[in-house]
Amino acid sequence: MSIAQGLLLLGVLVLVLIGAYFVAMRVRRNQLRRTLGTFKGALHNEQERWTRVICRYGDHRLDVLRLFSVSPIPVLKLQRPDIQVLGWEPSETVPGRFPSDWVVVEIKNREQQINLAMSYGDYTGLASWVEAGPVAGMGTWRQSPSN
């Protein structure tokens, strides 16, 4: 095998791996979007950047997963009893970043303060989920799991 054939084979292999990565990322994103209790959003991180995410409700927590990733591990796990929705403002406060029907929601989770952008409909769902949650300390069935 010549060097040119080896390089061609290596190039094809790299392209196949890149294609497989993008296919896996798309399959994961579609699976997450079809799951009940998920919504699209954007998370404002410490570096003053917005990262596209998919948020997933659970019984006792809200998982925040990166949109463009193949990892099943959430980048942020918010325990339901610890979440406080402090308020929201229209997405026009962040010009050109989000659709006009999106809002930027300020969330406090224990000592951590988070900005999460989402559609207004998703915000009402999140606020209802937080408010309808059980009160911690009112019985063992209402306590959030330790894990």
Q: Are 53 and 78 in contact (CB under 8 A)?
A: no
| Tokens found for residue 72 | 């099943």
Q: Are 79 and 144 in contact (CB under 8 A)?
A: yes
pLDDT at site 135: 63
pLDDT at site 124: 94
Q: Which residues of the chain have pLDDT under 70?
A: 95-96, 134-147
Residue in 46, 49, 39 with CA at minimum distance from that of residue 118: 39
Residues 31-47 have pLDDT tens digits of 777 777 889 999 987 77
Do you know the residue count of the chain? 147
